[in-house]
A and B are shown apart, each in its own frame.
Chain A
Amino acid sequence: MMVATSDEDLMRAVQGGDIAAFETLVDRHKGVVFGLAFSMLRSREDAEEAAQDTFVKVFRSRDRFDASRSFEPWLLRIAGNTSRDLLRRRRVDTQPKARSVEEERLAHWIVDPQSAGREWSEATRQIVRQEIELLSDRLRLPLVLKYVNGLTNQQVADALGISLSNVKIRMGRAKDVLQSRLEKLMERS
């Protein structure tokens, strides 16, 4: 029976000059890293760039990795920092757009889940999605990394470089903000 080599063993091998081990690591984690970058940058092109940069940085810093510790948090932190740096450079382009009058009108009429027929549920979905997009990054990212990327709270904390409790605080805050905005739309409709 084949025994899966741990990430840390692979990193030891990489530190010893085994480049094939690094390929295994890239294959193993590219989904998480690319997904993380995509969620943070909202652009496939930027995400590809950031994900590649991440692995190049990992390789470049291989000697600094302490193999007695877990590999994944270290990787996520590098991935998060890389994407954040890119995001900072792209920040001007990625400001969430303000809600248009038309969207506001649709939101007024469609958001009520109790009256959601088949056609409205799609519209409701879009409105919730749009409200998520309108959140500030500090609230949006924990939420998206959790529910879109499927990361655990601890992984989100590693990726964003914040504490576990702050992940929870921000996620709770994001949900509160979403709920409050949707309630307001419902009240209006």
Chain B
Amino acid sequence: MAAQREDPDAERRPDEPGAGDEARDGLPASAARDALEREALAAGRQPAPLHDLERHPPASAECRRIRIAQRDYLDGELDPAAAGEVEEHVHRCRDCALALSRLELEVVRIRKATAEDRDAVAVVPADFTARVMRAVGELVVGTGAAADDAGLSAPDDFTRDVMARVRGEFRREKRRTRWLYSISGRPGHGRLPTALGRALRQVALPVAAFAAALLVTWIVTRSMLEGADARAAIEVVTARDAQCFEAADGAWRGLAAGDLVEPGARLRTRSLGGATLRWSADEDGRDGIGGAGRAERPLGTGAAPVDVVLHGGTEATMLREPGLALVAGDVSWSAGRAVEIRLRDVAVVRLSAGEAFVSLEDVFRADAGLDGVAGVRARVEVLTGTALLERGAGVVESVAAGTVAWFEGLEPTQFEPVASLAMLARSRQDANGDAGRATGVRPVAPVAPRWVGRVVAAGSRAPIAGARVTVLRPGRDEPEELQTDRDGRYELIADPSHVDTLVVDVTPPREIGRACAVRGRVVSLLGRDLRSRSLGDIALDDGAPLRGVVLDPARGLRGPVRVVPWVVDETFGTVEPLEQLAVPVVGLEGAAQGSFAVSRLPQTLDAGETLVLALVDGDFVRCARIVGTDGVVHRDAQPVELAVPLGRAVELAVDGHAGALLTVLETVPGLPSTVCALVHEGVADAAGRLAFHTIGGGELRFVDPDSDAVFEVGLDPGSGLWRPGGAALEHARVGVAQLRIEGVLQRSDDGMRTVTSLARGRRFARFGPVGEGGRTLVVTVHDAVRPAPPVCQVFARSPDGVLGFLGVHDGASAPVLELPWQAAGAGDLELVAIGADGSIGRLRVPQGTEVLDSIELRAPGVIDLGGVASSVVAQYRVVPLDAPGGVERWRTLGGAVGVSVGRLEAGRYRVVEAGVRSWECSVPVGGRVVLDASMLIAPGASTGGAPR
């Protein structure tokens, strides 16, 4: 295990050419790497798992380009020439072929997982078109009778709601039309031909808009117009909490997007929170709106125009022009001077020339894009969220909250912080529309304070540049995304008013690999001296193993002694030994001290997870030390020390239990109380006493033989004896040994049920009502070959296909398993037992059966392709022939990826290599079949054909 390869890249010489190039010795790079990896296999080292490809950066520029194109290739988004290039490349580059197969697996998974959804979205309601057309018919003619004339049936209940809205819309449309005609110089002339009307509007609108600009300027500079006659047609474009008052009825009412305020109404506004109103001059040339808020009107024109077009998004505000709002998709205009724009939500701004100031706020949904051309000078300020600014050619620049980016043409030239918190607050107030019009204030000094954090390598403490840092602050839905600079630093705008913790995720740059990402690290700011502006360091694993020493001065270890990393998750109550990472302790034979080095420790700890190193002595876990928590594995310069605790003789006294069988559980220091180091059992003497010797260090818990309740064991200061005392720890009985598994079923008075099982240190609980129709089944499990079946979990599949967990079978007892749901519908049940070693057994339960016999477990088999697998990596399909309709499995095999397919049920299989060659074989229970040429079948042979 110690020789396990940490990163296959480590074996690549720095000057080794890319996968698509020719390597030294005239061998293709992939062949050279094959040879290296075969060497590694021969030396017993673990081959790299498939997902470790993330750690393989593309070896050449060509590979990098192909990798980038691979997802598009799989999605069918490439043109034929580019697709051909990808295909040609992966045929000669194994790394890229592997990467492609991994991406393909992603797509296959997603497609399989969403098959039902595809069916669901494809079913459009049968009468959909008719409903829409009824609504539209009403929109055009305004009456149901005319809709009938158009061949449309009368509206049903559903349609009535739509109709009500449509009628309102129709009235508004008519008003708008009337108004448009009036400003085109043809008032009162009735309906015009549509084309002529459009032409008139095209000519008349700019004229009217210019007039409106002049008028509005006059009106705005006249300070507030509250109480003034509002003679304009006012359309509410967007609104949140907007209210206005119309003199016609005297009542305040809310404004909704799409509302049209009657022209000529005396209008006052009380609140325009977030509302955007659009108005134009009426035939009297008077317009206006009372109160504060934002509204839209055309911008003046001049020389050297800046063309600004908004695409997408919902709202934007011109800051330089007080009171001007832009509406996405609707606005395109020219300005003779620099403009300053604030965008909300999503927007893409296109700037043609001149200078623009763009600030982005609440980019919560999406990314904003700045698609500029040469000659543009843009100032982009992100107030909240993160903006991804597209600079053309697919180049995306990430600008985090609190940052101002200056762009000259297509290049960002300078980043600076938002000037002050006051400015931020001002901007937000403006955005809310309740603090007066947008003012066009430009940021000025002083510079806002910043908090600075660093991302460093865990071993060397060297800064890691290019790591993606995601910071979530309390009260904000969207995280801020940052990137570390060359010094490994990332910066946040200081906001100490309401912040006490930050949740920081770190994703390292690709060359370091995803496996060492840190997730959900909580950075507490409480008690921190924030004037130092330091958030501290976050350490990423750079591949160095974690080293430690084992101290055993009493030489009490019996061995074999190993160190096993465990992941403890308090949230789910799980403890999980990572046996695959276990390492032996070296140098302990006959000595009081040994050492170890653990590689490839998980760095991706969830919040609430703890990583510990446990010292395992034979079957006993002697002690454990925490080495990771809060999402990060701690790596100090000092080695981790695991000191073997000393055991002691203990005498337990239990009143009233003379002669009873007593059980005491001893826990492991450093691990949760659910993990037992040792079970001490014995018959109490006449005085109710039990003597035993602990392995030391852990807590002792007494299991009451009468109630199965568990009690802490404390020292009685008077007698010096250990006595059970205190309250019961848990109502459920806990597993009585670390490696033993027991399922416990409990019923409570309220009809709910709790099933708790402790399985290999992992505790699961399920809750559900005890149904009256629930069935009780007695099941035992036996193994087809071995004398004792392995520990297994038992599931039941209902007649309607629902799979439910029944319980854990320890292979010895015959637990009572109760169906977790009421027997739904008629039909047979199927019980499925899955062994920890992958063995599987099935039992069909005819309807009405109460007591069953045994489920037969059949150990899994293996097909070994070592003798026939391609020297390069290829995909293999494994098709079960005994179970028609059974699910095929497919794997990518070859080279260092592995040459066998395991965990197969006994039966006949066909193995198909990339549609080229096929073999057929029979896999016995628990057996291994080595494919050879005699099992090859001719292309096109029938599926059920005999092996040749």
Q: Report if A146-B75 is in contact (Cβ < 8 Å); known contacts: A101-B764, A161-B346.
A: yes
C-alpha spacing A147/B113, complex, angstroms: 10
Expressed in whole angstroms, the minimum distance between the Cβ of B865 and any Cβ of chain A is: 14
- Total A-B pairs in contact (CB under 8 Å)? 195
Pick from A51, A60, A169: contact of B169, CB under 8 Å: A60
Asked if residues B139 and A60 are in contact (CB atoms below 8 Å), the reply is yes
C-alpha spacing A144/B890, complex, angstroms: 25
A contact residues around B103 at 8 Å (CB): 175
Chain B residue at minimal CB-CB distance from A184: B604
Asked if residues B110 and A165 are in contact (CB atoms below 8 Å), the reply is no
Asked if residues B803 and A122 are in contact (CB atoms below 8 Å), the reply is yes
Asked if residues A125 and B112 are in contact (CB atoms below 8 Å), the reply is yes
Pick from A51, A113, A179: contact of B128, CB under 8 Å: A51
Asked if residues A22 and B133 are in contact (CB atoms below 8 Å), the reply is yes
Q: Report if A129-B396 is in contact (Cβ < 8 Å); known contacts: A166-B366, A166-B369.
A: no
Q: Does A153 contact B (CB under 8 A)?
A: yes
B contact residues around A44 at 8 Å (CB): 125
Asked if residues A102 and B137 are in contact (CB atoms below 8 Å), the reply is no
Q: Report if A148-B117 is in contact (Cβ < 8 Å); known contacts: A52-B131, A153-B77.
A: yes
Pick from B110, B131, B797, B903: contact of A147, CB under 8 Å: B110
Chain B residue at minimal CB-CB distance from A176: B514
Q: Does B308 contact A (CB under 8 A)?
A: no
Asked if residues A132 and B795 are in contact (CB atoms below 8 Å), the reply is no
C-alpha spacing A117/B129, complex, angstroms: 44
Chain A residue at minimal CB-CB distance from B132: A55
Q: Does B9 contact A (CB under 8 A)?
A: no
Chain A residue at minimal CB-CB distance from B797: A119
Asked if residues A179 and B106 are in contact (CB atoms below 8 Å), the reply is yes
* B-contacting residues, A25-48, CB 8 Å: 26-27, 30-31, 34-35, 38-39, 44, 48
Expressed in whole angstroms, the minimum distance between the Cβ of A48 and any Cβ of chain B is: 6
B contact residues around A113 at 8 Å (CB): 889
Asked if residues B805 and A105 are in contact (CB atoms below 8 Å), the reply is yes
How many interface residues does A have (CB within 8 Å)? 80
Q: Report if A38-B71 is in contact (Cβ < 8 Å); known contacts: A122-B803, A166-B390, A175-B106.
A: no
Q: Give 1 or 0 for each of A95-124: 1 = CB within 8 Å of chain B CB.
A: 000000110111011000111111101111
Main secondary structure of the interface of B (DSSP, over half): mixed
Expressed in whole angstroms, the minimum distance between the Cβ of B480 and any Cβ of chain A is: 14
Asked if residues A147 and B803 are in contact (CB atoms below 8 Å), the reply is no
C-alpha spacing A92/B484, complex, angstroms: 35
Asked if residues B194 and A16 are in contact (CB atoms below 8 Å), the reply is yes
Q: Give 1 or 0 for each of A160-181: 1 = CB within 8 Å of chain B CB.
A: 1111011011011001101110
Main secondary structure of the interface of A (DSSP, over half): helix
Asked if residues A153 and B803 are in contact (CB atoms below 8 Å), the reply is no
Asked if residues B194 and A148 are in contact (CB atoms below 8 Å), the reply is no
Asked if residues B312 and A161 are in contact (CB atoms below 8 Å), the reply is yes
Asked if residues B887 and A59 are in contact (CB atoms below 8 Å), the reply is no
Asked if residues B367 and A39 are in contact (CB atoms below 8 Å), the reply is no
Q: Report if A117-B124 is in contact (Cβ < 8 Å); known contacts: A125-B112, A161-B313, A171-B71.
A: no
Chain A residue at minimal CB-CB distance from B757: A105
C-alpha spacing A162/B451, complex, angstroms: 31
C-alpha spacing A123/B797, complex, angstroms: 12
Q: Give 1 or 0 for each of B815-849: 1 = CB within 8 Å of chain A CB.
A: 00000000000000000101000101000000000
Chain B residue at minimal CB-CB distance from A187: B602
Expressed in whole angstroms, the minimum distance between the Cβ of B628 and any Cβ of chain A is: 14
A contact residues around B371 at 8 Å (CB): 163
Q: Does A90 contact B (CB under 8 A)?
A: no
Q: Does B111 contact A (CB under 8 A)?
A: yes
C-alpha spacing A182/B113, complex, angstroms: 13
Chain A residue at minimal CB-CB distance from B765: A101
Asked if residues B902 and A114 are in contact (CB atoms below 8 Å), the reply is yes
Asked if residues A119 and B198 are in contact (CB atoms below 8 Å), the reply is no
Chain B residue at minimal CB-CB distance from A80: B312
Q: Does B175 contact A (CB under 8 A)?
A: no
Chain B residue at minimal CB-CB distance from A39: B121
Given contacts A128-B113, A153-B77, 20 further A-B contacts (CB under 8 A): A15-B194, A19-B136, A35-B122, A38-B121, A39-B117, A52-B128, A63-B194, A81-B314, A84-B365, A109-B834, A113-B889, A117-B840, A125-B112, A132-B114, A143-B110, A148-B117, A149-B118, A162-B366, A168-B71, A180-B517
Task: Show 13 A/B contacts (Cβ-Cβ < 8 Å), sorted by A.
Answer: A26-B132, A35-B121, A60-B139, A63-B194, A114-B902, A125-B115, A129-B116, A148-B118, A153-B77, A161-B313, A163-B367, A168-B72, A175-B71
User: What 6 A-B pairs come out closest when comparing CB atoms?
Assistant: A161-B312, A35-B121, A128-B113, A129-B113, A115-B903, A55-B132
